Amino acid sequence: MARIIAGVTSSHVPAIGAAIDNHRTEEPYWKRVFSGFEKSKEWMAKVKPDVCIAVYNDHASAFSVEIVPTFALGCAAEFPPADEGWGPRPVPVVKGHPQLAAHIAQSVILDEFDLTVVNKMEVDHGLTVPMNLLFGSPKEWPCPVIPLAVNVVLYPPPTGHRCFMLGRAIRKAVESYPEDLRVVMMGTGGMSHQISGPRAGLINSKFDKAFLDNLSKDPKKLMRMPHIDYMREAGAEGIEMVMWLVMRGALDDKVDEVYRFYTVPASNTAVGHIILANRAKSAKRKPVAKHKRAAARAKVDRIRS
């Protein structure tokens, strides 16, 4: 059986990607940001997930304003990079997991939770920057990634409650997948920032830190927070944080906070990051007998055919 072992959230500031791509990570300004992810990379290298599900938002790279799905699940075999501003980043193509993605789509939609199934999609800094922060800059990403794009760019975005419940539905889907896979949920975006208008450059550390506290210990409080509170307290683009609730909904009610990092500013935003692990199950890989793995794979093949 597949299971979600942990959740990781991180900001996806595009300037972080530009700093990586232009070899500026050792500059004092950027070193402060990148040093906060060293422990996270060590943690990820130790945990070695079989699959990641990355909840992020597209910034008009894959979807124009003509079509903006509320929740779009990437079911393709691969997702090439694309981006606004600096153009496509020089990062590896993201390899998907079409079998698990199709299974999630089936389970979640039949559970009356509608998703848009996307069989061709490019992914931008919303997904690739957190990948760098958590995996470094390898030639190939170390595990398949299923992208889940959430609309937070065109009103109305989904509510925090809806995002949390989607996380719950994804968890149920993952746990009904027969192959023994250890899955890490990623949530990206935020934290407080506003990129235009009179409040451009807004950062609210008090709000951000309280959000991290609640995400860890009392996520139900965040489920009830209306959009206007995100906008008022965390800036217009702070609404991206609603995506972190998809990650949180996929975890146990009580979790262990493994690590947290927060720094300001990076570009004109606050950078926040947290790692939460499910308590009930060990993050260590359980040995599975060869014949059980073969039987699980055969079951997956039967489902596919």
The residues annotated with a catalytic role in the active site are 125, 193
HSE toward the beta carbon, residue 119, CA cutoff 13 A: 2
HSE toward the beta carbon, residue 102, CA cutoff 13 A: 11
Helix/strand/coil for 126: helix
Task: Please check whether residue 270 is in contact with residue 264, taking contact to mean a CB–CB distance below 8 angstroms.
Answer: yes
Q: How far apart are CA 119 and CA 167, in angstroms?
A: 21
Among 33, 26, 54, 11, which residue's Cα sits nearest to residue 250?
Answer: 54
**Residue 253 has which token pair?**
């009610």
HSE toward the beta carbon, residue 7, CA cutoff 13 A: 30
